[in-house]
Amino acid sequence: MNVHDLTRELHVKNDSKIVLLVADGLGGLPRTSEGMTELETARRPNLDRLARRGIQGASIPVAPGISPGSGPGHLGLFGYDPIRYRIGRGALEATGIGFPLGPGDVAIRCNFCTLDEAGRIVDRRAGRITTEESGPLAARLRDVRIPGIEIFVEPVKEHRFVVVFRGPGLGDAVRDTDPQATGVRPLEPVGEDDAGRRTAEVARAFLAQARDLLRSEPKANFHTMRGFASKPDLPSFEDVYGLRAAAIAVYPMYKGLAHLVGMRIVGSARTLDEQIDTLAQSWNDHDFFFLHFKYTDSTGEDGDFDAKVRRIEELDGAMPRILRLAPTVLIVTGDHSTPSFLKGHSWHPVPTLLVSDCCRPDRLMEFHEATCIRGGLGHFEAKHLMTLALANAGRLGKFGA
Amino acid sequence: MNVHDLTRELHVKNDSKIVLLVADGLGGLPRTSEGMTELETARRPNLDRLARRGIQGASIPVAPGISPGSGPGHLGLFGYDPIRYRIGRGALEATGIGFPLGPGDVAIRCNFCTLDEAGRIVDRRAGRITTEESGPLAARLRDVRIPGIEIFVEPVKEHRFVVVFRGPGLGDAVRDTDPQATGVRPLEPVGEDDAGRRTAEVARAFLAQARDLLRSEPKANFHTMRGFASKPDLPSFEDVYGLRAAAIAVYPMYKGLAHLVGMRIVGSARTLDEQIDTLAQSWNDHDFFFLHFKYTDSTGEDGDFDAKVRRIEELDGAMPRILRLAPTVLIVTGDHSTPSFLKGHSWHPVPTLLVSDCCRPDRLMEFHEATCIRGGLGHFEAKHLMTLALANAGRLGKFGA
């Protein structure tokens, strides 16, 4: 079942305001089997107060046991089935640096590499070239000219950069040129359908000119191309929910993901406090607010339990300012768990709290991993959260008579 | 997954008796975030006693956040995927007045309206004509004659009535004639495929004669047609479950819904007590009993918290008489929630209790919203309830060897 088949048909408009606060990687793990998680350890006076008038549950980002990346993690929260809607690697990479992909664009993740005189790959990452060295080299590739094709080259980090081709008739069914091995030549780009063959032809022309432009470089004298990907065809929030949605994020990746579903990127906040300023400023012109807090994830990725606890406490401290705006529906969740114990994204369900006047409180007195599994929302797939948000906001009509 | 693909293959017959007691709109909400729901407030000595030997859960009628009408709400409880099986408006309207639709019939929801001299709609509801005035006018339309077509005209309420066409080759792909606006002429019926075009032709003939029959009326001098719908193609209880099913309801809508899945409508009870008399009388000739209690919904719709509490207590008081029949499986649930706080159907999961000798009791001591979310049935989609009923009745064989 695609929930959008229902929401598209049933949504109605009103004056309600929905805030979706995503604490990236919120869920955690205890350090020992008797211990507490980061969220359980944190002082949470405000979140616990909300728990008493809210309903909580355990959100399964994609499916049990599946650890999502940021793309599927957020698509799920936004109500898009993350198994049905995939964001190709090139498109995610472009999205991650805030590049506004258009329909028909093809984005490609590129890696600088080192070739020997015979043209065989010696180093697939160009000797771990630094960002300072690689940036100007990527910029140099902007000199490539291909008739009828607009070309964008954007540095990313270290050996990575993004190329976007824009022009008529391009498609993303093109095989990677990275042979995933050294001692062999890069592969030729090969298209798998007509539009892919057209893109492969453009890619071959690009690679030929890049070879010349990089020839004199000691380390980064060529590059591979992988993850050819068009902009994913995601229906917009306006279309499927009738919502004017605002995204308030610090990092480009999350702005990019919000952009893909048609949210408006508002403000240029650098801190949580500034994000809440932006929330207040954009309050009247929007119905839905995606507020992204990064640091519960990055501290988890670092394996820094205590730092993650402090970041959760920072978030807890920000709740009163959000509540002062009196949202009709407030949701606190994460796109996945990032336990510092695992130093990475995990599959564990994410503690999720929904507060509204008609949420049917479940009488839990705290909000964390141990309470959420007993909550009134049960264990649910993240893709159902938006429907619950709309229902609690009075924005869904009755299904059938 | 369609559960019927399994039940059709696996069901076996025995002497068990299953009672499905549907307290319409059973689930509720507290009036404040610290308060209790209607079911939590009610005195429930009998239901709580059952809770101790039963297993409970939270039934999601359609999908999280979706508030169903009576049609999808009951289809779910009957084990029919309410998203896959839709009942068109005309068919539901006919069902709601107890009209037994046959295969190939096309039912149409009609509204009396007022036209000016130029044929433009002045009032889409014929000046809110009363049921007393409109009934005889609908009856007058029974004089319409169309060769080869059997025609039924049934009054509903106020400006509403139902027309059913019966004849070979008719289909329901016909657009509404109601322009949803005043100051314009009604639309012509337009068919969207061959069978729809045949129906549209019949509809045009009907409308022409109706125009003549109603011409002299001051208010209801014409009518619109909308929601052309055939009988939904639902496999029967006998087919998918091997059950001889009896429906014991007071209101026509629920008899109609039961009829659509092939249940036998038994008795003509007007009260819950009479319904239980009918249950006892039909006990030996049936395997399954759908007992519908309306008033938990209607009091919720009225926003009358205390009246809903009293209706739940009335239901609780009826349990001993039902138990005296010693059903193999007894289920108490609702087709959706109708919180008096919201004065309407809602999306909230429905407290559901199943009692049998092999149900694996979950040791909960009470039965209401706060207990059901911790019950042994978990949070489940309503469409799975029938399979659980069959299993607890020993009516499902092993799947695979």
pLDDT tens column, B170-205 = 999 999 999 989 999 999 999 999 999 999 999 999
Contacts of A105 (CB under 8 A, 6+ apart): A164, A165, A166, A170, A230, A231
Please name each of the domains of chain A with its CATH number.
3-87+234-392 (3.40.720.10), 92-230 (3.30.70)
Residues of B in contact with A396 (CB under 8 A): 65-67, 347
* CB burial readout A271-288, b (16+ within 10 A) else e: ebeebbebbeebeeebbb
pLDDT tens digits for range A289-321: 999 999 999 999 999 999 999 999 999 999 999
Q: Does B92 touch chain A (CB under 8 A)?
A: yes
Residues of A in contact with B352 (CB under 8 A): none
**Average pLDDT over all residues of chain A:** 96
Residue-level pLDDT at B401: 84
Residue-level pLDDT at B186: 97
Compare CB distances from A396 to B58, B65, B89 and report the shortest one's residue. Answer: B65
Distance from CA of A389 to the nearest CA of B (A): 8
How many angstroms separate the most distant Cα atoms in chain A? 74
pLDDT tens digits for range A347-382: 999 999 999 999 999 999 999 999 999 999 999 999
pLDDT band at B148 (very low <50, low <70, confident <90, very high): very high
Is B33 a residue whose pLDDT tops 90?
A: no
Range B315-324 average pLDDT: 98
Q: Does B29 touch chain A (CB under 8 A)?
A: yes
pLDDT band at B150 (very low <50, low <70, confident <90, very high): very high
Give CA separation, A151 vs A162, A196, A203, A222, A252, in Å.
10, 17, 11, 18, 21
Contact A400 B72 (CB under 8 A): yes
Distance from CA of A4 to the nearest CA of B (A): 12
Residue-level pLDDT at A1: 72
Q: Does B369 touch chain A (CB under 8 A)?
A: yes
Give B156-217 as a 3 state SS string: EECCEEEEEEECCCCCCCECCCCCCCCCCCCCCCCECCHHHHHHHHHHHHHHHHHHHHHCCC
Compare CB distances from A399 to B69, B348, B374 and report the shortest one's residue. Answer: B69
Q: Does A9 touch chain B (CB under 8 A)?
A: no
Range B356-370 average pLDDT: 98
Percent of residues, chain B, with pLDDT higher than 70: 100
pLDDT tens digits for range A388-401: 999 999 999 999 87
Residues of B in contact with A5 (CB under 8 A): 83
Distance from CA of B94 to the nearest CA of A (A): 12
Q: How many CB atoms lie within 10 A of CB B103?
A: 8
How many angstroms separate the most distant Cα atoms in chain B? 74
Residue-level pLDDT at A383: 97
Contact A379 B374 (CB under 8 A): no
ipTM of the complex: 0.90
Is B1 a residue whose pLDDT tops 90?
A: no
Compare CB distances from A384 to B65, B72, B341 and report the shortest one's residue. Answer: B65
Q: Does B345 touch chain A (CB under 8 A)?
A: yes
Is A252 a residue whose pLDDT tops 90?
A: no
Is B75 a residue whose pLDDT tops 90?
A: yes
| Residue of chain A whose Cα is closest to the Cα of B227 | A401
Residue-level pLDDT at B13: 97
B120 exposed, middle or buried (CB, 10 Å; 0-12, 13-18, 19+)? middle
Is B2 a residue whose pLDDT tops 90?
A: no
Residue-level pLDDT at B170: 97
CA distance A400 to B345: 11
Residue-level pLDDT at A110: 97
Distance from CA of A386 to the nearest CA of B (A): 8
Taking only residues 35 to 74 of chain A, the set having a beta carbon closer than 8 angstroms to any beta carbon of chain B reads 52-53
Beta bridge partners of B56: B353
Contact B30 A396 (CB under 8 A): no
Q: At what angle do helices A194-214 and A131-140 cross, to 10 degrees?
A: 110
Range B199-215 average pLDDT: 97
Contact A400 B92 (CB under 8 A): yes
Residue-level pLDDT at A98: 85
pLDDT band at B57 (very low <50, low <70, confident <90, very high): very high
**Residue B396: left if φ>0, alpha if ψ -120 to 50, beta else—which one?**
beta
Residue-level pLDDT at B344: 97
Structure tokens, B112? 């009396």
Helix, strand, or coil here: A280?
helix
pLDDT band at A248 (very low <50, low <70, confident <90, very high): very high
Which of B373, B374, B381 is the best mutation test for A, with the most CBs of A within 10 A? B373
Residue-level pLDDT at B121: 97
A293 sits in which H/E element: strand A288-293
Residue-level pLDDT at A321: 98
pLDDT tens digits for range B233-292: 999 999 999 999 999 999 988 999 999 999 999 999 999 999 999 999 999 999 999 999
**Average pLDDT over all residues of chain B:** 96
Distance from CA of B66 to the nearest CA of A (A): 7
Range B122-143 average pLDDT: 95
Residues of A in contact with B341 (CB under 8 A): 358
Contact A360 B70 (CB under 8 A): no
Residues of B in contact with A383 (CB under 8 A): none
Choice among A117-121, B86-90, B200-204, B391-395 with the minimum mean pLDDT: B86-90
Evaluate the CA torsion angle A256, A258, A263, A264 in order and state its sign: negative
Range B377-387 average pLDDT: 98
Give CA separation, A301 vs A25, A116, B271, in Å.
9, 36, 64
